[in-house]
Amino acid sequence: MFIIQATLYYLPLLSTVIAVVLSEQQSPIIIVNTWPFSNATDAGWNVLSPSNSTLFGSSIDAVVAACTNAEDDPNIESVGYGCSPDENGHTLLDAMVMDGKTMEVGAVASMPDIRQASQVARDVLLSTKHTLLVGPLAAEFAKSRGYKPTSLDTSKSHNLWIKWQKNNCQPNFRKSADWVPDPVTSCGPYRTNVSDINSPKLKDQRIKKLDINNHDTIGVIALDAYGSMAVGTSTSGSTYKIPGRVGDSPIPGAGGYVVDNIGGAVATGDGDLMMRYLLSFQVVDYLRQGIGPTEACKRALRSVRSVSAPLSYFHLTLTPNFK
């Protein structure tokens, strides 16, 4: 038996639960993703079940194909080039691929100038003994693998950045009391507010991101004809993030996690929170204990609700052999 569980959860209210149950003798071919990026899903499906071949593709290649499709789609404003500029006006990419059979992971983070982030992550997985490459040197690795450098910035992303600057750089991700000038009312360059560095209000203050589109990271889970599972993620990160920031997407256990014969999970939302709680790992670990996918998602999210302010998340869980 195979169960796909999609849970849309707005803390503290569970608003939508969708479950699909498939029961077959052979391993079914399944691919799902976090948002209605149907073209991306189709691209992954065509790898898993090619119409012109009797050979079935792997779950790893399927999640990469799906993520690549989203990365190349100019209409998706949260994945790939030309979107989500940072404070300096530049777009950088994060991506991860995880193999549920070997538990190997390949990931890149804060990578400039290379549009095929998920493909480079797969190269890290398959062609190195490392897990995560970051920054300009991740791009250098990609070039050594034959990827051609291309600017990730476009006129659209530049115009977004200019508009943001004209709005006094609002919203942003800096805690107000720690900086001069005050990031609530002004753009940088910022420097440390020495007079308030020991202020107790620093412990509680955080400027929350306000852009609803910041949650639309693509996360993909695939189960291939051979019974192997994989997850893939790709994102351009939070819009107007502080340069150098890395989100949850390339972090195993946060953006995604998968174990063959147990299940897989991907998540999207406030990546800084998800890295603290490793929500995808929590979900899969609950599945390992025999807990159903809906309850696994609920329990993982409760760990956030018990500590942090309400925020929205979307969890997608795929569990094989669940009873």
Residue 25's pLDDT band (cuts 50, 70, 90) = very low
Same domain, 13 and 81: yes
- Rounded distance between C-alpha atoms, residue 300 and residue 105, angstroms: 22
Q: Is 245 annotated as a binding residue?
A: yes
pLDDT in tens, 86-107: 999 999 999 999 999 999 999 9
Q: Is 248 annotated as a binding residue?
A: yes
- Domain check: are 132 and 263 in the same one? yes
CA–chain centroid gap for 273, Å, is: 13
Is 247 annotated as ligand-binding? yes
Q: How far is CA 17 from CA 9, 122, 178, 285, in A?
A: 8, 31, 41, 20
Range 122-146 average pLDDT: 99
Strand 132-134, strand 105-111: pairing: parallel
Q: What is the dihedral of CA 57, 63, 64, 68, to 10 degrees?
A: 120
Q: Closest Cα to residue 180, out of 195, 166, 170?
A: 195
Question: Residue 116 and residue 105: Cα distance in Å, rounded?
Answer: 17
Mean pLDDT, residues 232-253 taken together: 96
Instruction: Report the pLDDT value the prediction gives residue 209, as an integer from 0 to 100.
Output: 46
Question: In this structure, are residues 26 and 52 in contact, taking their beta carbons and an 8 Å threshold?
Answer: no
Write out pLDDT tens, residues 275-298.
999 999 999 999 999 998 888 888
Instruction: Name the average pLDDT for the chain.
Output: 84
- Domain with 240, as residue range(s), is 2-152+213-320
Judgement on whether residues 175 and 313 belong to the same structural domain of the protein:
no
Q: Which two tokens stand for residue 309?
A: 């302010």
**Which pair of structure tokens corresponds to residue 260?**
């063959």
Question: Is 20 annotated to bind ligand?
Answer: no
CB neighbour list of residue 313: distance below 8 Å, 6 or more residues apart: 9, 11, 215, 267, 268, 269, 270, 274, 279, 301, 304
- Whether 282 and 305 have beta carbons less than 8 Å apart is answered as no
Q: Which whole-number Å values give the CA distances from 74 to 37, 69, 157, 217, in the listed order?
A: 12, 10, 11, 14
More confident residue, 277 or 21: 277
Residue 309 sits in the same domain as residue 256? yes
- Vertex 151: Cα angle to 207 and 168 (nearest 5): 30
Sheet with 263-268: strands ordered across = 13-22, 2-10, 312-320, 263-268, 256-259
Coil, helix or strand at residue 113? coil
Whether residues 105 and 248 fall in one domain: yes
| Separation of alpha carbons 114 and 89, rounded Å | 16
Half-sphere exposure of 173 (CA within 13 A, CB side): 18
pLDDT at position 4 over 60:
no
Contact 189, 178 (CB under 8 A): no
> How far apart, in Å, are the Cα atoms of 240 and each of 67, 86, 156, 169?
22, 4, 14, 8
Which listed residue (7, 68, 91, 217) is catalytic? 217
The answer to whether 255 is annotated as binding is no
Is 246 annotated to bind ligand?
yes
Q: Is residue 208 part of a domain?
A: no
- Greater confidence (117 vs 35) lies with 117
Examine the domain organization and report whether 187 and 291 are in the same domain: no
What percent of the chain is predicted at pLDDT more than 90?
Answer: 64
The rounded distance, in Å, linking the Cα atoms of 231 and 233 is: 7
Q: Does residue 196 share a domain with residue 293?
A: no
314 pLDDT above the threshold of 70: no
Are 179 and 281 within one domain? no
- Lowest-confidence range among 38-42, 202-206, 255-259, 267-271? 202-206
| CATH value at residue 10 | 3.60.20.30
For residue 158, what are its two tokens?
Answer: 């530049």
* Confidence at residue 173, expressed as pLDDT on a 0 to 100 scale: 96
Tally of domains in the chain:
2
Once rounded to an integer, what is the mean pLDDT over residues 262-273? 88
Annotated binding residue 271: yes
Q: pLDDT tens for residues 174-198?
A: 999 899 999 999 999 999 998 755 5
196 with 234, same domain: the answer is: no
How far is it, in rounded angstroms, from Cα 27 to Cα 30? 9
Q: Is the pLDDT of residue 299 over 50?
A: yes
Q: 7-16, 142-151, 290-299: which range is least confident on average?
A: 7-16
* Statement: residue 150 has pLDDT above 90: yes
Active site residue 217: yes
- Over residues 58-80, the pLDDT tens digits come to 999 999 999 999 999 988 989 99
